[in-house]
Structure 1
Amino acid sequence: MKFVIVGRGILGSSLYHMLRRQGHDVTVIESGERRIFPSLIHSLLLKGKDVDLAKESLKFYRELNVPMRELPSITLGDIRDEIIRQWLSEGVEIKESYIPWLGAEGLVAKGGDRLVYVSRLISSVDYVRGKAKVDLERGKVYVDDKEVKADKYIITAGPWNPCMLKVKSKSYYCWATLAFTRIRELGRYFVYDYEKGFYSRPLMGLGTGVVIVGDGKAVESPPGTRMTVNREEVLEKVRERLGELKPIYTAGEFCEGTPDMRPSYGEVIEGIYYAGGLDGYGAEVGPGVAKLLIKYIVSGEIERDYFLDRFSQVEEFSIGREPHEI
């Protein structure tokens, strides 16, 4: 069977490898408009069925030998017992202890978090450069105004999805700041601070004081728009916990959010499928969503918690809190 995939992000790249493994003819179309970050967080410290998607994603990364670097994490704040029990059931080691360099009690977890070098996954995909357009009335897909023919089309264009397909999702700007701190431990841990409202992750996991901090407000905007953000609202929260902090630069990209801020997939019209709404945690759940879509295409099996039709009654919505924030 011949597939055309629009979008070479984490979802499109995962689908490319999964479908080729099944013997299908796969072409990926990529405009090149979106920046690719070298590494992103993969975490099992989610909740509900999102943990299952994260497990499937981790299995996929390991099968493809995508480079990863496992690091311990510290979670600050009041986490419900049932969520902690779920983490423990997945084999994550969790210990509550006082962390002097944070000045707080926290949950120290091992085996739950890692940096995954998603750029290696994405760069392994052969693609055709071009801008795609979907004609839903005719059921056709065009690249640079030329029709491309396939048995099935899969649109995984991230923040461009709502423009191309009129699905119930929105584009928003998600961003973080690279900063220097004298606390070298921050270079060896992920920190999820639900008391102050920020996260911190090592730049490379090498034990330096250079870290990436974020969790500022999502800014709804069409993709590709030049954005200016107030990073001080986040840095003030970080300084309350860490003290002196020197920002180096702030950068971000556009993400796609759904009404419930969870992934979505389904068939838009016959032969044209959609997968998206990764809501800022695509490294955790992207390959898992890809597996759900392929299962649906092959056997018709549906996972209702993520299926597209759950938004059929939604008229208007605003971007909410990203789901990896417990």
Structure 2
Amino acid sequence: MKIVIVGRGILGSSLYHLLRRKGHEVKVIESGERRVFPSLIHSLLLKDRDIELARMSLDFYREFSVPMKEFISITLGKVDSEILNSWERAGVEIREEHVSWLKANGIVARGGDRLVYISRLISSVPFVRGKAKIDLLKEKVYLDGKEIHADKYLVVAGPWNPCLLGVKTKSYYCWATLVASGVKELGNHFIYDYEKGFYSRPLLGLGTGIAIVGDGRAIESPPGRRIPVDENEVLDRARERLGSLHPLYTAGEFCEGTPDMRPAYGPMTDKILYAGGLDGYGAEVGPGLAKLVVEFIETGEKIKEYFLDRFTGVTDFTVGREPHEI
């Protein structure tokens, strides 16, 4: 089958490798407008069926030799016992203990969190640079005004999906700040602080106090605009736990949110398929969702929990809490 993928992010790159392995002829179209970060969080510390998607993603990274580095994580705040049990069923080793350098009791997890060097995955995918236009009525896709012929078109352009397809999702800006701290442990631990309202993850894991701190508000906006943010919105909360933090650099990118802040996929027409709504946690669930998309293309099997038709009655919504925030 000849397949054109519109978008070369985590989802598009995963689809490219999975479909090529199945023997399909695949072409990827990419505008190059979105920044690719070197590494992102992959975590199994999610909820419900998203944990299964994260496990599928982890299997994908291992199958395709995407580099990863595992870290201990510490979760602060009350976590429902059933969620803890689901983490253990996923193979995560957890225990509650006092963490002296945080001066707090926390849930210490091993095997749950890692940095995945996602730029290595994305850079491995050949692509044609240009801007795509989708005509749903005629079931045609154009690249810089010229029609691209294929048996199937997979539109996985993240925050540009609402513009390209009119799908019921929204683009929003998500961001974080690189900080320097005197707390050296910050450089080799993940922190999920549900009491103060922030997360922290290592930049490189060198055991220094350099880390990335985030969990500011999601700002709904069309993709591509420069969005000013107040970094102290998050850092002031983090300082209550960590003490002095010196901001070095604040950056972000646009994400695509669905009405329930869960991934989605499904047909727009017989030939044009949508997949996206990675809602700020694409490194966790993107490759897993790609596996569901490939299964749907080849067998018609669909997972209703993630299928696009669940938004049929939705007219408008506000971008909510990202799913990796339990």
Q: Give the TM-score band, short-chain normalised.
A: over 0.9
Partner Cα distance (1:262, 1:114) in 2: 21
How many angstroms apart in 2 are the aligned matches of 1:297 and 1:135? 20
2:277 alignment partner in structure 1? 277
Letter in 1 for 2:82: E
Q: Output the CA distance in 1 between the equivalents of 2:25 and 2:91.
A: 38
**Counterpart in 2 of 1:24?**
24
**Structure 1 counterpart of 2:291:** 291
CA shift digits 1:90-116 (9 cap, x unpaired): 111101111111111000000000000
Partner of 2:117: 117
In 2, Cα distance between the equivalents of 1:213 and 1:90?
26
Query: Which residue does 1:14 correspond to in 2?
Result: 14
- Counterpart of 1:5? 5
Mean CA deviation greater in 277-286 or 87-96: 87-96
Are residue 135 (structure 1) and residue 135 (structure 2) matched?
yes
Q: Show the counterpart of 1:91.
A: 91
How big is each residue's C-alpha offset from its partner over 1:181-204, in whole Å with a ceiling of 9 and x where there is no partner? Answer: 000001110000000000000000
Does the residue aligned with 1:133 lie in a helix, a strand or coil? strand
Per-residue deviation, 1:161: 0.1
Does structure 1 residue 254 correspond to structure 2 residue 254? yes
**What is the match of residue 50 of structure 2?**
50
Matches of 1:95 and 1:207 in 2, distance apart?
22
Q: Deviations over 1:66-120 (max 9, x none)?
A: 0000011000000000000011111111011111111110000000000000000
RMSD: 0.5
Per-residue CA deviation, residues 237-267 of structure 1 (Å, 9 max, x unaligned), is 0100001010001000000000000000000
Q: 1:133 is matched by which residue type in structure 2?
A: K
Query: Which residue of structure 2 aligns with residue 190 of structure 1?
Result: 190
2:90 and 2:213 map into 1 onto residues whose CA distance is 27
1:36 corresponding residue in structure 2:
36
Which consecutive segments of 4 or more residues in structure 1 shift more than 2 A? none
1:236 partnered with 2:236? yes
CA drift at 1:231: 1.1
Match of 1:315 in 2: 315
* Paired residue secondary structure (1:101): coil
The CA deviation string for residues 133-173 of structure 1, in whole angstroms up to 9 with x for no partner, is 10111110000000000000000000000000011100000
Corresponding position of 2:203: 203
The amino acid that maps onto 1:157 is: A
SS in 1 for 2:45: coil
Aligned-partner Cα distance in 2 for 1:233–1:62: 37
What is the deviation of 1:174? Answer: 0.2
Unaligned runs of 5+ in 2: none
Q: Distance in 1 between matches of 2:61 and 2:21?
A: 14
Separation in structure 2 between the aligned mates of residue 37 and residue 117 of structure 1, nearest angstrom: 9
Q: Percent identity?
A: 68
C-alpha distance in 1 between matches for 2:111 and 2:148: 44
2:253 is aligned with what amino acid?
A: E
Following the alignment from structure 2 to structure 1, what is the Cα–Cα distance between the partners of residues 79 and 95?
13
For residues 161-180 of structure 1, the aligned pairs below 5 Å read: 161-180=161-180
Specify the alignment match of 1:66 in structure 2: 66
Q: In 2, Cα distance between the equivalents of 1:268 and 1:235?
A: 42
- Compute the displacement of 1:284 (Å): 0.2
C-alpha separation between the residues in 2 aligned to 1:313 and 1:229? 33
**Secondary structure, counterpart of 2:268 in structure 1:** strand
The CA distance in 2 between the partners of 1:164 and 1:249, in whole Å, is 32
CA distance in 2, matches of 1:181, 1:250: 15
Q: Secondary structure at the match of 2:19?
A: helix
Task: Tell me which residue corresponds to 1:223.
Answer: 223
Q: Distance in 2 between matches of 1:90 and 1:235?
A: 32
TM-score (norm 1): 1.00
Distance in 2 of aligned mates of 1:89 and 1:6:
36
> Which one-letter code corresponds to 1:176 in the other structure?
A
Tell me the distance in 1 between the aligned counterparts of 2:68 and 2:124. 16
Shift of 1:7: 0.3
Quote the Cα distance in structure 2 between the aligned partners of 1:23 and 1:297: 13
- Give, in whole Å, the separation in 2 of the partners of 1:90 and 1:319: 28
